[in-house]
Structure 1
Amino acid sequence: MTTYPSSVGVEPGRERTHGGELLALRERALRGPGGKATEAQHAKGKLTARERIGLLLDEGSFSEVEQLRLHRAQGFGLEAKRYYTDGVVTGWGTVEGRTVFVYAHDFRIFGGALGEAHAEKIHKIMDMAVAAGAPLVSLNDGAGARIQEGVTALAGYGGIFQRNAKASGVIPQISVMLGPCAGGAAYSPALTDFVFMVRETSQMFITGPDVVKAVTGEEITHNGLGGADVHAETSGVCHFAYDDEETCLAEVRYLLSLLPQNNREAPPAVAADDPVGRRTGALLDLVPLEGSRPYDMARVIEEIVDDGEFLEVHERWARNIVCALARLDGQVVGIVASQPQVLAGVLDIGASEKAARFIQMCDAFNIPLVTLLDVPGFLPGVGQEHGGIIRHGAKLLYAYCNATVPRISLVLRKAYGGAYIVMESQSIGADLTYAWPGNEIAVMGAEGAANVIFRRQIAEADDPEAVRARLVKEYKAELMHPYYAAERGLVDDVIDPADTRAVLARALAMLRTKHAGLPSRKHGNPPQ
């Protein structure tokens, strides 16, 4: 005879005699703590854990693990509050037929707070995901550590962090923020590959507004401190932000369709309806010949990739560089591109960090890289230098130099100075480098170069401006003409912009079987 506490909906002393009893227990677990708790969740504009899983996974594919788990904690009234699942739903299912592991906090139970049993369930599903070689998606909606359980709850977070770190670069890890995430709990999402947030309902911060006010005197709202827009635009913590949970989870499904199951597999390919040899003549109108005129690099990417579809990562943070996942001839590629529409496309601290992390993700998961250059250099200024542009720029350089996936670069208009070297030049390991006619690859712009080289001649001339103009023209003719780099083997070919899609697709097809290794080592020591 087995007895169950009344708090889980089974009368004490009730004998478990047949499958009907088990069915009743499972139904109780599915219902959760009750209708009022569900109504309160919906009133906040939030779905329940199981509703979210239903939107994420293919219909009917979810298999739950440890549905009947209960906590063992005593004291502070916990023994009278024992709910099946212990506030987290764990299991696996499929997204477009491919296995995905998931855990979802149930805010209706202890506010989704993590206790010992709760943590053990998450540890188990994380271990299963790594063993099976399948992505892990966490649906986060919890109030942090369960204070009543003390240090055991904190130790539970430690186990999650350790597993996040060990799974990094092994399986894709995606965190979906659907409610509050405070304190140490915020570090697990920060360790994963992608973070999604929903406006108004999700927040992330180490210390909340009350603590901030008490310590610094600053008054700020929860969303103002750690809402989706703050992390999408200012901090860069969030990769994607959406207005509602349904759209957010649909985009998670789309992202998963572009990622491999693990680091031993290639991303999923699809049959392409968009002809690989399609001419991209529209690029001639999209990109002005004058190097100083801005344009939207997103439209260039649309013209090149399959059906004009791509998923931009960190779209609203460090907008002077574009990082995106797309398909070219049905194959997934990672695109890193200057954005002349913002800060003229210069590299700065934020852009360097954004691109470096994206490149490392692509390299970890066997996603080829295509780099589109139109970069005038690094952003000058005291703020950038004192902020560590040297070490942050080195992160981008390190990421490119360390990448072993197929790597192709294309200079659209200009590539000057250290920014040219850092952004996938042939000298740091690009497999193939192309350029459009009219490209300028040089140490710096002609005007700046002439002012440095011919400073004395210009100063002593009777007509300095006329002399400067003549010397600038001479410098361009000798060192910046479109074929200068190609003549020296630094560019493999100068191509017609209308052939861009076809050239890139053919090059990627050739490089698909590329094999490259790194020196034997425990790990590198990247710049921080």
Structure 2
Amino acid sequence: MTLTPEHTHRIAPVDDRAATPDMRSLIDRRQRLQHDLETGADPRAATRQHAGGKLTVRERIDLLLDQDSFVEVEPLRRHRASGFGLDKTRPHTDGVVTGWGTVDGRTVFLYGHDFRIFGGSLGEAHAEKIHKIMDMAASVGAPLISLCDGAGARIQEGVTALAGYGGIFRRNVDYSGVIPQISVILGPCAGGAAYSAALTDFVFMVRGISQMYVTGPDVITAVTGERITHEQLGGADVHAGTSGVAHHAYDDEQQCLEDLRHLLTYLPSNNRELPPQRPTRDPVHRVNTALVDLVPTDPSHPYDMRTLIAEIVDDHAFFELNEAWATNVVCALAHIGGQPVGIIANQPTVLAGTLDIDASQKAARFVTFCDAFNIALITVVDVPGFLPGVVQEHNGIIRHGAKLLYAYCEASVPRIQLIVRKAYGGAYIVMDSRAVGADLSFAWPGNEIAVMGAEAAANVIFRRELATAEDPDASRAHSAARYREELAHPYYAAERGLVDDVIDPASTRHTLARALNMLRSKHATLPERKHGIRPM
């Protein structure tokens, strides 16, 4: 309706003097609430948190995110449960802080349990806040970080707490391979909470304050009679070095969160983006003179594969994952020519670089992650085979080795194989050979690609001659040399198109950089299907 002069008397004038005090009092109330949120309704709870060697959830968020970038979501949420004492206290946030902010200017979403409130336990409202922030992260296409410090399901809320965990698990799976998901364990993480962490892409833990397990020490003692401490059962070093659940263990929270910020520099925000390139002053044509003498020509002599990796990547720097578990294979993120790459490499100093059950699982998971987030793969091969032994066979080395084979065959990102010394048997095939889909394969002079080592092959092929030889040792050496010269020499595979080129070790970095630059726009078309059936 158009207002005319006769209508204007119907509009009441605004009385600033009457409205202002009411608005100011409301603003003052909100500011008091904000103060309570930041300091905690009970200051003694923060003191107890610090006394236990732990930061508060908001201190952790301040360390993780860029300064003043955090925007909190639903800070005034409260539980609506009653009974069993919950009706007497209804603190804001319900024990979890959710929101978004930036890391080096890039948006991330997060939730962090506030152990000062109900021990960070999960109830209905608590879970709904987490569900919302997970959905927001997926819809925006940004990484999700969980700062875990909670006592598990809130017993007083019964089955609704369990349903809340179910909603988290479903979202962990729905958004797997869509956005990076990272769990930082900064306190207890038991029961259902542990499964959520296991479903995410990376798990970081801190010594002395992080524990993760499905059933605690008291339950184990009651059921089995075994006595064990929380740290011995599920501490940071246990999961970083024994179970392989944690990718890293740190001495303090500050170092942990700093490394988390660094990890994000290698990752795209979601699966629709390429990982971010970064400028580098390290020339891609840098000559790798040190590599010429690094790798012994004798296939039985060890050397540290990390030294080789450092020589070929930008600024000699890489971010190793699971560095304390399955150490016979190295998995690392790095840059070459500013482009993020995932590196999988056999480690000759541990079990001679053989593949075993744990190494196969470790590498397979890493390959799958890199493929999901468009990170090119470089596989550095120096492998004598799969680890022999009854324990390995009975525990399913065939099944677990097939996981790595499946991961490589399924990967559609740029894939480059570099054979630096030996590549024997099925392990050669599994380590991203041309036959299973590597885009390019390069080899150093002196490499051996064969069904088995020359000495072992000679024992099989020339067993009759060796049995009747006057000097078996000399005959065996001659036979091995013959096998090496005819079938296992560096150029045999290249002549048959299974290696693209035999390169000078000193040119390795330049060769890889040029190949990565060419493959950056690679597009692979996969067969239409719902999904494959992976070895489990």
TM tier, smaller: over 0.9
| Aligned match for 2:83, one of 75, 80, 92 | 75
- 2-side partners of 1:39 and 1:306: how far apart? 44
Offset, 1:360: 0.2
Offset, 1:17: 5.2
- 1-side partners of 2:462 and 2:89: how far apart? 81
1:10 match = none
2:15 match = none
| Aligned match for 2:466, one of 426, 443, 458 | 458
Q: Deviations over 1:138-183 (max 9, x none)?
A: 0000000000111100000000000000000000000000001111
Q: Deviations over 1:204-247 (max 9, x none)?
A: 00111111111111111101000000000110000011000000
2:452 match = 444
Offset, 1:21: 1.9
- The total of aligned residue pairs comes to 515
1:482 match = 490
Offset, 1:455: 1.3
**Where in structure 2 are there 5+ consecutive unaligned residues?**
1-21
Over the matched positions of the two proteins, sequence identity in percent amounts to: 70
Offset, 1:457: 1.6
1:331 match = 339
- 2-side partners of 1:61 and 1:15: how far apart? 27
Q: Given the alignment of the two structures, is residue 256 of structure 1 paired with residue 269 of structure 2, yes or no?
A: no
Residue identity opposite 1:481 in structure 2: H
2:8 match = none
- 2-side partners of 1:178 and 1:261: how far apart? 24
- 2-side partners of 1:286 and 1:459: how far apart? 38
1:359 and 1:400 in contact (8 A); partners too: yes
Q: Matches of residues 416-455 of structure 1 in structure 2 within 5 Å?
A: 416-455=424-463
- 1-side partners of 2:166 and 2:24: how far apart? 37
- Secondary structure at the counterpart of residue 282 of structure 1: helix
- 2-side partners of 1:165 and 1:153: how far apart? 19
Q: Deviations over 1:302-349 (max 9, x none)?
A: 000000110001001000000000000011000000000101000000
1:515 match = 523
1:117 match = 125
Q: Given the alignment of the two structures, is residue 162 of structure 1 paired with residue 170 of structure 2, yes or no?
A: yes
- Secondary structure at the counterpart of residue 258 of structure 1: coil
Q: Given the alignment of the two structures, is residue 286 of structure 1 paired with residue 294 of structure 2, yes or no?
A: yes
| Aligned match for 1:240, one of 234, 248, 263 | 248
- Secondary structure at the counterpart of residue 265 of structure 2: helix
2:514 match = 506
Residue identity opposite 2:491 in structure 1: Y
Q: Given the alignment of the two structures, is residue 101 of structure 1 paired with residue 100 of structure 2, yes or no?
A: no
Q: Deviations over 1:245-271 (max 9, x none)?
A: 000000000001110000000111111
Q: TM-score with structure 2 length normalisation?
A: 0.95
Q: Matches of residues 183-332 of structure 1 in structure 2 within 5 Å?
A: 183-332=191-340
CA RMSD of aligned residues (A): 1.1
1:349 match = 357
- 1-side partners of 2:431 and 2:219: how far apart? 42
**Where in structure 1 are there 5+ consecutive unaligned residues?**
1-13
1:266 and 1:367 in contact (8 A); partners too: yes
Q: TM-score with structure 1 length normalisation?
A: 0.96
1:7 match = none
- 1-side partners of 2:300 and 2:143: how far apart? 43
Q: Deviations over 1:7-39 (max 9, x none)?
A: xxxxxxx99953222222222222223211000
1:32 and 1:84 in contact (8 A); partners too: no
- 1-side partners of 2:24 and 2:279: how far apart? 54
1:134 and 1:172 in contact (8 A); partners too: yes
Offset, 1:121: 0.3
2:384 match = 376
- 2-side partners of 1:389 and 1:208: how far apart? 30
- Secondary structure at the counterpart of residue 333 of structure 1: strand
- 1-side partners of 2:202 and 2:102: how far apart? 19
- Secondary structure at the counterpart of residue 240 of structure 2: helix
Q: Given the alignment of the two structures, is residue 404 of structure 1 paired with residue 412 of structure 2, yes or no?
A: yes
1:169 and 1:364 in contact (8 A); partners too: yes
- 1-side partners of 2:420 and 2:135: how far apart? 45
Change over 3 Å in CA distance of 1:449–1:493 after alignment to 2: same
Q: Which moved more, 1:24-33 or 1:183-192?
A: 24-33
1:413 match = 421
- 1-side partners of 2:428 and 2:208: how far apart? 40
Offset, 1:54: 0.4
- 2-side partners of 1:409 and 1:85: how far apart? 50
Q: Deviations over 1:410-458 (max 9, x none)?
A: 0000000000000010000000000000000000000110111111221
- 2-side partners of 1:80 and 1:108: how far apart? 16
1:29 and 1:83 in contact (8 A); partners too: no
- Secondary structure at the counterpart of residue 337 of structure 1: strand
Residue identity opposite 1:260 in structure 2: P
Q: Which moved more, 1:17-26 or 1:346-355?
A: 17-26
2:10 match = none
- Secondary structure at the counterpart of residue 93 of structure 2: coil
1:32 and 1:83 in contact (8 A); partners too: no
Residue identity opposite 1:326 in structure 2: A
| Aligned match for 1:359, one of 359, 367, 377 | 367
- 2-side partners of 1:519 and 1:249: how far apart? 40
1:320 and 1:344 in contact (8 A); partners too: yes
Residue identity opposite 2:309 in structure 1: I
Higher Cα radius of gyration: 2
Offset, 1:137: 0.2
